[in-house]
Structure 1
Amino acid sequence: MSFLDDFLIRAVIAGIGVAMAAGPLGCFVVWRRMAYFGDATSHAALLGVVLALAVEMPILPGVAIAAVAMALTVSLASGERYGADTMLGVAAHAALALGLVALSLMPNVRVDLSGYLFGDILSVSRADLVTIWVGAAIIVGILLWRWSRLLLATLNEDLAVSTGVNTDFEKIVLTVALALLVAVALQVVGALLITAMLIIPAAAARAVTGSPEAMARLAVLIGILSVLAGLEASYHLDTPAGPSIVTASVVALVLTSMIGAIRGRKA
């Protein structure tokens, strides 16, 4: 029997792959206050699934195209007549509603909707593992390539502009990375919980770290531990795996917040 024949082993490997990409990317989402932006992009994933099924193309490209299109549309449309928060709210719920309506109008298509909404990490195949890890490697590679410029454009946009950094391009880079994560993480935690995997480990790391690099590393570690703890709880308590992983990350957030508060009182 092969090592990868065990569905729990595949689930752990898949979850670790997503956590390694979501950790540092989630830091930028937290720093830029882009949580709702992540929601809009992840909700577009369901619409991407429906479009992919409609034209009989692979799910991953369909989700990636829809997520990128949503992210770029919101970025370009915000600020002209409506505020960014309004545009993000409209985009997030419109994409989710359109996806559900479109799916209901496709009588010949039978799909496990809960799997796309909440993830089904326990059904990850070997081919899915390759997709997840290749996608995660691309995301990490993009962040390493643009790290200093992305960081400067995020934390001090005026300084970034004065030093010749194209902040609009850096935002597009971040948008594409976020859309790619949505595409590869869809099966692991589902469209409704992708943003949680992005922001909760990063927020937990922020409470106890003092530098961007340390925060990114700790966010990855918290994400991995949340995957392991969530899958362990799911196995023993017979709870949904995706929500169990997110719940474990919430516990980590509470603990690090308490540690941060204690440190603050002692300082």
Structure 2
Amino acid sequence: MLDDFFARAALAGVGVALAAGPLGSFVVWRRMAYFGDATSHAAILGVALALGFSSSVFLGTLVAALGMALLVNMLSHKGHSMDTALGVLAHSALALGLVAISFIQGARVDLSAYLFGDILAVSRLDLLVIWSGALVVTGLLYWRWSALLTATLNRDLAQASGINPRREELVLTLALALVVAVAIKVVGALLIAALLIIPAAAARGFARTPEHMAIGAIIFGAASALAGLGMSLWLDTPAGPSIVAAAAAFFATSLGRRKA
């Protein structure tokens, strides 16, 4: 089955959804959409570094995304205006990455794959990386679920319960960087934040508990990946944007549910 490119693509999409679903729920609850944008845009800078030093693209994007996430996390505790800081960091990292890639011979051909994903070209090694990263993120969130949820709902209550909110923010930072690194092959740097936010936002209209929302986000994310892949093959559209378009359609459905 793994010799079939569509099967590999489907497994890759489901793997990313497994990690992005519950993490995206925290992104929605904490209103961290711009945080996700800044981290994902930094992935292009990581790609440039990886190509420049002939190292693993996964490792380069992980280091760059983690560095950006830690920087944003640090600035958030320094009293800076986060809208402005995130806007400057996100667009600067993306621009620097694109400029750096332009100086690397032979990299321009693959630029669209890094920006919008190339899920149909996922290899067995890519699948291993994606599912390993997804399982690590899922295990990390499962382990810290109660503490993360308490710190998200009420920082004072978390501190009174012996939970360090900043430590839990670092857990989310690490998880977000890892998801960005594994998802860049699937939807690309420009669409990773959408895959984090839209399925979680869609699940919110159907969920009654945080756990239901996290599970629903996984389901919507996986369904978006499969529907987007089907749309891509049927209509000959780009796979990454098609996945996000499918997620947007699910979100529109959830809006009707919420009104009802």
Does structure 2 retain, via aligned residues, the 8 Å contact 1:233–1:244?
Answer: yes
Deviation at 1:214, TM superposition (A): 0.4
Unpaired stretches in structure 2, ≥5 consecutive residues: none
SS in 1 for 2:144: helix
1:97 to 95, 98, 103: 95
Number of residue-to-residue matches in the alignment: 260
Match of 1:219 among 217, 228, 233: 217
Runs of 4+ in structure 1 displaced over 6 angstroms?
A: none
| Cα distance change, pair 235–109 in 1 and its aligned pair in 2 (3 A) | closer
Q: Is 1:125 matched with 2:123?
A: yes
Q: 2:30 aligns with which of 6, 29, 32?
A: 32
CA apart distance, 1:104: 1.4
Change (3 A) 1:79 1:157: closer
Q: Distance in 1 between matches of 2:243 and 2:196?
A: 12
1:190 paired residue number: 188
Output the aligned Cα RMSD: 1.1
d(CA) in 2 for partners of 1:111, 1:187: 15
Q: Could you tell me which residue of structure 2 aligns to residue 116 of structure 1?
A: 114
Structure 1 residue 105: Cα displacement: 2.1
Measure the CA separation in 2 of the matches of 1:146 and 1:207.
25
1:68 aligned to which of 61, 66, 75: 66
* DSSP-derived class of the 2:189 partner: coil
Write the letter of the residue equivalent to 2:47.
V
Among residues 152, 155, 170, which one is paired with 2:153 in the alignment? Answer: 155
1:110: how far off? 5.1
Shift of residue 55, structure 1, vs aligned partner: 1.4
Matches within 5 A, 1:139-154: 139-154=137-152
Q: What's the counterpart of residue 207 of structure 1?
A: 205
Q: Does 1:12 align with 2:10?
A: yes
Q: Distance in 2 between matches of 1:38 and 1:81?
A: 19
Distance in structure 2 (CA, Å) of the matches to 1:227 and 1:59: 22
For structure 1, the residue ranges without an aligned partner over 5 or more in a row are: 263-267
Within the candidate set 212, 227, 230, 1:229 is matched to 227
Give the conservation status (yes or no) of the 8 Å contact 1:208–1:257: no
Task: Read off the aligned partner of 1:184 and give its amino acid letter.
Answer: V
With the length of structure 1 as denominator, give the TM-score of the two structures. 0.95
How big is the shift at 1:144? Answer: 0.5
